[in-house]
Structures are given as C-alpha cells and as structure tokens.
Amino acid sequence: MKLIVGLGNPGKKYENTRHNVGFIVIDKFYQNNGFSEWKGSKRFKAKFCKAKGVTEQIILAKPETFMNKSGQAVRSLAAFYKIKPHDIWVLHDEIDLPTGKLRISQNASAGGHNGIKSIIEELGTSEFVRFRIGVAGQMRVKISAEKYVLQKFSKEEKAQIDEFLKFAVQAINTALISGITEAQNEYN
C-alpha cells in the first residue's frame, strides 16, 4: 500500500499559491485515475481517498492542518493503515528549483521546508520519498521565503505549472509501476 500526500494549506485564501503546489499536483493525479471521492476526516486531519493501483492499493491525502503540522496527518494515516515510511510519498513545493522542475529523492533532510520537517518529526525518520516541485519562478527579491511561497503564481508561472502537471502525473505513475529509481532516472 502506498500513501501519496500532497502538501499545502487548507482554505480558499491559499489556493493557487506556490506553497499549495502539492495540492495542485495531487488533484491532477486524482483526476487522471479511478479514485473514490475525497472524504474529510477529523481523525486523520486530512482529506483522503483510495484506489486500487496497478500493483497495490493507493491512498491519496491532503492534510487539513496548516503546512507546519502536516506530519500529524501523515503519521495518523500511516499508523492506521500500517504504511511503512518508504511507502509514503510526499509532493511539495521547493523554492530551490525553477518553476516546473521536479526532483525525486528519498531519505533526505527537510532542507528548510517546515512541512517536511513536521513529517520527519512525527514519523521519526526521513526515509519517505519526496517529489520536490520547483516554484522558484523569477527569483524573489527582498522578500522572505515564507512570504514568497504564500503568494499566488504569476500568469507566466501558472502556465508553466499547467504544462508541468502532465509531466508530474507521468512521474508518479512511472514510480508506481517501475519504482522510484526508474522514476528518478527518467524525471530528475
């Protein structure tokens, strides 16, 4: 069983912000596959849905906590469904990559990302897989990283992300069918 988690902040205020690109990608993956309807769960602190993948059961999740507490939702879902850390895949924004670029890694540090830091703290390991989605755009000038990621995409960036979505969904599908190493070789 795989748990694929898209990171973001809940609420209309944060829709289409750089920090919510994990939600954007997981929603596109959801649309392209035969998942059940999203269900909200106070117990899991997340919206989630399930489907039978080609090789195994897949659970998609979008934490309903704010980014800095994403680990609570990941830990509760992983514990309930008995999912090992290496079977948890996290899709999240990465300000150190150009918009529309993807890097797949495993067992990596938080790299300053508070959502990833929360997941590492809650799971007690960094063994999970990360799909790091570039949001650097026209690199920010005189603005903190925290403010930058909470801004909406520019028109140019939105067009790049729209093109990127098909690529990201293909990368996830390749990882599910052929494994993480194959996906890294093809999409990194």
Tens of pLDDT, residue by residue over 125-165, are 999 999 999 998 765 566 788 888 888 988 888 898 999 99
| pLDDT of 32 over the 90 cut | no
- Here the tokens at position 57 are 């059961």
> Residue 37: which pLDDT band, with cuts at 50, 70 and 90?
very high
Residues noted as catalytic: 19
- Taking only the tens place, the pLDDT of each residue in 60-112 is 999 999 999 999 999 999 999 999 999 999 999 998 899 889 999 999 999 88
Length of the chain: 188
What CATH number should be reported for the domain holding residue 72?
3.40.50.1470
| pLDDT of 9 over the 70 cut | yes
- Here the tokens at position 97 are 């990559």
- Here the tokens at position 41 are 């769960």
DSSP per residue over 71-119, as a string? HHHHHHHHHHHT--GGGEEEEEEETTS-TT-EEEEES---TT-HHHHHH
The pLDDT, as a whole number, for residue 102 is 96
Count of domains forming the chain:
1
The pLDDT, as a whole number, for residue 53 is 72
Residue bearing tokens 């028109």: 155
Host domain of residue 79 = 2-187
The pLDDT, as a whole number, for residue 142 is 64
Instruction: Give the residue from 64, 16, 62 showing the smallest Cα distance to 35.
Output: 62
